[in-house]
């Protein structure tokens, strides 16, 4: 069995190149579903490494690569996912590799995720004799707009996969540390539209119309009762109205108002019940106030629920490669969402956090930088997880 020391020395050799790759990706970021150059760059790097198979244009600009081990004990397949897209934000940092694309930057650190997975590919290609089964590398487009993961799955990304893992660079955590959690990790994210049709009139004669702004305000208020009075106090539920559009002038009561909002939760039961509760409240208020309701609910992305066995494996690998003191147990899930959840509908898996720096600014902000220091620990983790999973399986 290969030692972690040997793997670490291979990772050390590869790291400078992986760091350069990250800087290149950082300099040339591309928005969701426009990752054409990014995909060609990844493809070129993978061809240089030499994979057992390579598929491009999966679900858009996605890439699926395969590395087969040459041992033949038992065949299992592990998928590892990295997202490749950037965000519509103007970078403010003065890095030598600052984004040259105006208004676009890697503010979520997907440059880091991609370079870590490319580094992992390079490491595992050198370690073929050390594992059986295969590693499937998933380079996913359009994570930020949510949709890339589902399309990758439709393109066969998860066919025959026994487990799937991913990481997300995490500000506020030192490089060389990881954050793990079994069970609920990230929330589901669904959206709704509420259109209130009232009757417009002169603002000085409100009794001649039906004021959709007043009705809308009641709905906004009432929806807040869902998490506080209709869900268990121990459940995490967010129902937020995030847009309220109505009216054009000081002296006109408009004919309609439009609300938009987001719904987040951590259990399948809440996810099923929440649209029913929201519609019931909106319908009841509209009826009482003589307004008409148009209600639309859009299922977005499901919860990211980390599998116990796969997460335990990440804990063991983390302790082995980074030290037990650097494996941080996360005490709460995030109410943010990740389209990584889509892969977990096909196989158990886990997503963990990778420290990128204690003083790093937050994700999705104009000064965010994944940085160079997290690259090697990321590769060590992915390579270590692959070797352990394929040779031993989950603990
Ligand atoms: Zn993001
Ligand atoms: Zn992200």
Please list, in sequence order, all residues whose beta carbon lies within 8 angstroms of the beta carbon of residue 185, skipping any fewer than 6 positions away.
Answer: 304, 305, 306, 330, 333, 334, 338, 350, 351
DSSP 8-state class, residue 199: B
The stretch 98-123 carries a mean pLDDT of 98
pLDDT tens string 5-14? 999 999 999 9
Question: Using CA atoms, how far apart are residues 392 and 390, in angstroms rounded to an integer?
Answer: 6
The stretch 292-318 carries a mean pLDDT of 97
Question: Using CA atoms, how far apart are residues 374 and 356, in angstroms rounded to an integer?
Answer: 5
Question: Using CA atoms, how far apart are residues 42 and 84, in angstroms rounded to an integer?
Answer: 9
Question: Using CA atoms, how far apart are residues 234 and 365, in angstroms rounded to an integer?
Answer: 31
Q: CATH 3.40.630.10 occupies which residues in the chain? A: 4-186+303-392
Please list, in sequence order, all residues whose beta carbon lies within 8 angstroms of the beta carbon of residue 385, skipping any fewer than 6 positions away.
Answer: 78, 80, 165, 313, 314, 317
Quote the ligand 1 centre to 114 CA distance (angstroms): 14
Fold for 188-301, please state it: Alpha-Beta Plaits (3.30.70)
Quote the ligand 2 centre to 113 CA distance (angstroms): 9
Instruction: Please check the confidence at residue 395 and state whether its pLDDT lies above 50.
Output: no
pLDDT tens string 244-283? 999 999 999 999 999 999 999 999 999 999 999 999 999 9
The stretch 331-346 carries a mean pLDDT of 94
Q: Which ligand sits nearest to residue 364's alpha carbon?
A: 1
What CATH number matches the domain at 4-186+303-392, 3.40.630.10, 3.20.20.70, 1.10.8.100, 3.40.190.80? Answer: 3.40.630.10
Quote the ligand 2 centre to 186 CA distance (angstroms): 12
Nearest to 226 by CA among 304, 278, 162: 278
Q: CATH 3.30.70.360 occupies which residues in the chain? A: 188-301
Q: Which pLDDT value is given to residue 72?
A: 83
Q: Which ligand sits nearest to residue 88's alpha carbon?
A: 1
Quote the ligand 2 centre to 379 CA distance (angstroms): 17
Quote the ligand 1 centre to 80 CA distance (angstroms): 18
pLDDT tens string 15-58? 999 999 999 999 999 999 999 999 999 999 999 999 999 999 99
Quote the ligand 1 centre to 363 CA distance (angstroms): 7
Q: Which pLDDT value is given to residue 392?
A: 82
Quote the ligand 2 centre to 185 CA distance (angstroms): 14
Quote the ligand 1 centre to 351 CA distance (angstroms): 14
pLDDT tens string 198-242? 999 999 999 999 999 999 999 999 999 999 999 999 999 999 999
The stretch 96-103 carries a mean pLDDT of 97
Instruction: Please check the confidence at residue 306 and state whether its pLDDT lies above 90.
Output: yes
The stretch 372-387 carries a mean pLDDT of 98
pLDDT-based confidence at residue 294 (cuts at 50, 70, 90): very high
Q: What is the pTM of this model?
A: 0.91
The stretch 350-378 carries a mean pLDDT of 96
Quote the ligand 1 centre to 101 CA distance (angstroms): 18
Q: Which pLDDT value is given to residue 393?
A: 55
Instruction: Please check the confidence at residue 394 and state whether its pLDDT lies above 50.
Output: no
Q: Which residues pair with 294 in a beta bridge?
A: 195
Q: Which ligand sits nearest to residue 170's alpha carbon?
A: 2
Quote the ligand 1 centre to 146 CA distance (angstroms): 10
């Amino acid at each position: 069995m290969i030692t972690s020391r040997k793997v670490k020395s291979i990772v050390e050799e590869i790291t400078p190149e992986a760091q350069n790759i990250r800087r290149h990706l950082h300099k040339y970021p591309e928005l969701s579903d426009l990752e054409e150059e990014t995909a060609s760059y990844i493809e070129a790097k993978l061809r240089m490494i030499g994979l057992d198979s390579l598929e491009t244009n999966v679900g858009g600009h996605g890439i699926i690569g395969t590395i087969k081990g040459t041992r033949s004990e038992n065949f299992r397949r592990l998928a590892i996912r990295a997202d490749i897209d950037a965000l519509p934000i103007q970078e403010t940092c003065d890095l030598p590799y600052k984004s040259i694309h105006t208004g676009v930057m890697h503010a979520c650190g997907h440059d880091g995720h991609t370079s870590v997975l490319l580094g992992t590919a390079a490491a595992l290609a050198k370690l073929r004799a050390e594992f059986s089964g295969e590693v499937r590398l998933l380079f996913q487009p359009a994570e930020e707009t949510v949709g890339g993961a589902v399309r990758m799955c439709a393109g066969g990304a998860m066919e025959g996969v026994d487990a799937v893992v991913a990481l997300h660079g995490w500000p506020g955590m030192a490089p060389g540390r990881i954050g793990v959690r079994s069970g609920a990790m990230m929330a589901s994210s669904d959206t709704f539209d509420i259109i209130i049709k009232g009757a417009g009139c002169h603002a000085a004669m409100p009794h001649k119309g039906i004021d959709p702004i007043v009705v809308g305000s009641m709905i906004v208020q009432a929806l807040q009762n869902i998490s506080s009075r209709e869900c268990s106090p121990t459940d995490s539920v967010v129902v937020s109205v995030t847009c309220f559009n109505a009216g054009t002038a000081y002296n006109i009561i408009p004919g309609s108002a439009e609300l938009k909002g987001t719904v987040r939760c951590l259990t399948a039961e809440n996810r099923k019940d929440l649209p029913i509760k929201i519609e019931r409240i909106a319908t009841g208020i509209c009826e009482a106030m003589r307004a008409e309701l148009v209600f639309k609910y859009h299922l977005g992305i499901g919860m990211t629920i980390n599998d116990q066995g796969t997460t335990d494996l990440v804990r063991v690998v983390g302790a082995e490669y980074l030290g037990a003191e650097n494996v941080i147990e996360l005490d709460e899930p995030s109410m943010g969402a990740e389209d990584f959840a889509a892969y977990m509908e096909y196989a158990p898996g886990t997503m963990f956090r990778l420290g990128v720096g204690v003083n790093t600014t937050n994700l999705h902000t104009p000064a965010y930088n994944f940085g160079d220091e997290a690259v090697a620990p990321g590769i060590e983790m992915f390579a270590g997880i692959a070797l352990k999973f394929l040779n031993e399986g989950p603990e």
